[in-house]
Structure 1
Amino acid sequence: MSLTTSSTHRVLYICCERIVAGSAAATHVHEICDGLTRRGYDVTLQAEHGEARSNLAGQLGRYARVILGSLTRLPRADIVYFRSHFAAFPIALAAWLLRKPTIQEINGVYAEAFVTHPRFARLKGVLSWMQRQQYRWASALIAVTPQLVEWGSKEAGHTRAYHVGNGANTERFRPEGPKTQRTLPYVLFFGGMTRWHGVEVMLDAVQSPVWPEGVDLLLAGPVVDPSLKARIMDAPPHVAWLDRVPQEELPALIRGAVAALVPTVDPSGITAHGITPLKLFEMMACGRPVIVSDFKGMADLVRQGPGGLVIPSGDPEALARAVGTLIADQAEADALGAAGARMIAADHSWDARAAETAQVIESVVKG
């Protein structure tokens, strides 16, 4: 995609989440900032980097530092871009009072914030109001799924909402390149070890009588939910836990797999507005078929390719059968993987996402 040049609009990009190296949020933030910079925008990222975990005092301190830093930089910004967060309320209020145009990027509904930060659940009512008010003040909304576009418009009370989805860095994640070699064929999941990522479903699937003989399950990522650690440590044969894998090593690990897995479950009921995990785009970009749960967004993407198989959520035997299907027909597995990679390269690169974001910025600045 050719680059367009802006009139050097000064963009203040605000992220109240901690930027953790290798995380989906970090990838999203940096890819969009880098893509806008390549297009001539003067982008200032107001965020903090470091480890994900912190106590309440540390978390509140981070919010305070991001807020103060943003307020200091706000007067010189031409447009303020928020990765939506309730803690950004004071900045959004100041931008509204200063008549600064703002964009709110929506990555999920309010309920998702309280799954990630349960310590704030008792304040759900007031924090949801703070987020809703930011949407109402916004010059435009950007949402990562069509369902979130519709939801955000209803919450904001206006229709200035646009769909700009997730993507993949198609220079790093591509079919060509080295492949991880292991003694046995394997299927791969990478990400945080949490229940909603379907870790228990995968471990149960390996023990199913329909799991194909001689196929390993590789789990790559930190144990986020401590209650899963014992289960992972005591996993049956043919399960290997790799802990956190550096992002630069992920492409080879994906390319070497028979298939990559995204067997998401939904104990909190947050998938109704669609989910499109960043890892799904990276898996497909590397040319391997994926096996995903039948939720809006992710299932639609896989069927569109077609880039893999869609299974009922929370069904270990369905997952085991799907792995067996791809193992039994390697030619079909390769064809699905190739089709998915072509689709991601054509329509879902981060460069394409940055171009779409730039179009929204231009429409807002021009009024």
Structure 2
Amino acid sequence: MRAYLELSHGLHPAEWSSRHSKGEVPDHWPYGLDRLDHYGVRPVMRIPRRGRVAERLGRASRHRLGGYEWVDAFRRNSGDVVLCWDEYSGVPAILRERKKPVVTGVVWLTDDPAPRTAWFARRALPKAAGVWASSSAMIPRLRDDWGVKNPRHIPLGIDVDFFQPQDNTEHGLVVSAGNDRHRDHHLLIRAIGKVPGARLEIATRLPIPDNFARTGLNEGQVRDLYGRASVVAVATTPNVHASGLTVTLEAMACGRPVVIPDTPGLAEYVTPEETGLVYPVGDEDALAKCIQRLVADDAMALAMGQAARRRVVREFSTELQAARLAELIHQI
């Protein structure tokens, strides 16, 4: 079976593979989707249109029509099935196709989408051959609020060969990362101020004080940042799409203990007191206390980090993710 992959953000397989060979990004293809070939699904990735006109049209259509990837949406494809990573490529693909089944992930939709984004999604998603999400908390919402008949929970996977433990920990260094609108880096900054001896670095493009921000890092450099951390902490506002999940799993794969909020979907990836610590979302004092515990106890932090690495390898690798996606494709 051939799966035609339609990805957002102009991702190009050859360019990604080149960056991977330089150690800048994980996996040979984005999200490890090349691994589908191990499970009876031959992936063929759409090559995004390039050039000034295409980029200008893409920006304009995304701005006016719900953020979706419309410019490449109506190109012919050579697959038996169309596979999209998220709704921004998935919704246009579903509305386009009349004969080929479309399987799509959904990442952002269940957390207060813009009206135009919601309008297109409500007309498209019920027609999809398959819909999945990495956050289990999204599954009932996709079914009850968006009309998806049988949404599937497929856990997110991380390249466990790219994200590996490093032996260069800096005691007291707390690290975070992320750019989505549910990140609450300012809560984390305030919490760090209550932890004696702790210092903080955040890989983000969001507006935070310069003394905490690390900007312009590729994923290989973010991995090295995890390698220096004694703790990786995530702070978010309430959400159900599991904001902070990628950072959490990358840090765990690097053998670092994590501190995360108890948002639905995210918390199930971390075993409290075994692979990390969980605090009530938005609770600044509880976040500070969790960080303090790990900064003050190197042996506990080491044991949690080692357990976190084992769990990611066992349950949350991109190899396992590819196997689960292939199973979903074969079932349609």
Superimposed CA distance per residue, residues 104-152 of structure 1 (whole angstroms, 9 cap, x where no aligned partner): 211232445x4xxxxxx3xx1x532321222211112112122222222
Cα distance in 2 for residues equivalent to 1:87 and 1:37: 21
Aligned-partner residue type, residue 144 of structure 2:
K
- TM normalised by structure 1 equals 0.75
Q: 1:103: how far off?
A: 0.9
CA positional deviation for 1:255:
2.7
Q: Report the equivalent of 2:3.
A: 11
Whether 2:84 is the aligned partner of 1:92: answer no
The offset of 1:243, in angstroms, is 1.6
- Counterparts of 1:66-85 in structure 2, within 5 Å, are 66-69=72-75, 72-73=76-77, 76-85=78-87
1:331 offset after TM fit, Å? Answer: 1.0
Verify: 1:187 aligned to 2:174, yes or no: yes
8 Å CA contact 2:48, 2:72 repeated in 1? yes
* Alpha-carbon distance in 1 for matches of 2:49, 2:158: 21
Is residue 179–residue 254 contact of structure 1 (8 Å, CA) maintained in 2?
A: no
Post-superposition offset of 1:165: 1.6
Q: Which has the larger radius of gyration?
A: 1
| CA shift digits 1:286-337 (9 cap, x unpaired) | 1111111121122222226721111122233322222211122111111111
Alignment partner of 1:172: what SS?
coil
Q: CA deviation at 1:252?
A: 3.2
Task: Look up the SS of the partner of 1:109 in the other structure.
Answer: coil
Contact 2:86–2:104 (8 Å) recurs in 1: yes
Counterpart selection for 2:237 from 251, 265, 289: 265
- Residue 250 of structure 1: SS of its match in structure 2? helix
Is the Cα contact below 8 Å between 2:231 and 2:257 reproduced in 1? Answer: yes
Aligned to 2:133: 143
| The one of 224, 229, 236 aligned to 1:252 | 224
Q: Check whether the contact 1:84–1:106 (CA below 8 A) recurs between aligned residues.
A: yes
TM-score (normalised: structure 2): 0.82
Which 5+ residue runs of structure 1 have no aligned equivalent? 1-8, 115-120
**Number of aligned positions between the proteins:** 312
Tell me the secondary structure at the aligned position of residue 146 of structure 1: coil
Q: Which residues of structure 2 form unaligned runs of 5+?
A: 20-24, 63-68
Q: Does residue 220 of the first structure (1) align with residue 203 of the second (2)?
A: yes
Q: Which moved more, 1:54-63 or 1:313-322?
A: 54-63
Matched-pair contact (CA < 8 Å) for 1:293–1:313: yes
Aligned partner of 1:3 in structure 2 is none
Cα RMSD for the two superposed structures: 3.1
Shift of 1:249: 2.8
Choose from 189, 194, 200 the match for 2:186: 200
Quick one: which amino acid aligns to residue 81 of structure 2?
I
How far apart, CA to CA, are the structure 1 residues paired with 2:131 and 2:90? 15
- Counterpart of 1:133, as a letter, is R
Q: 2:213 aligns with which of 217, 225, 241?
A: 241
What percentage of residue pairs aligned between the two structures are identical? 23
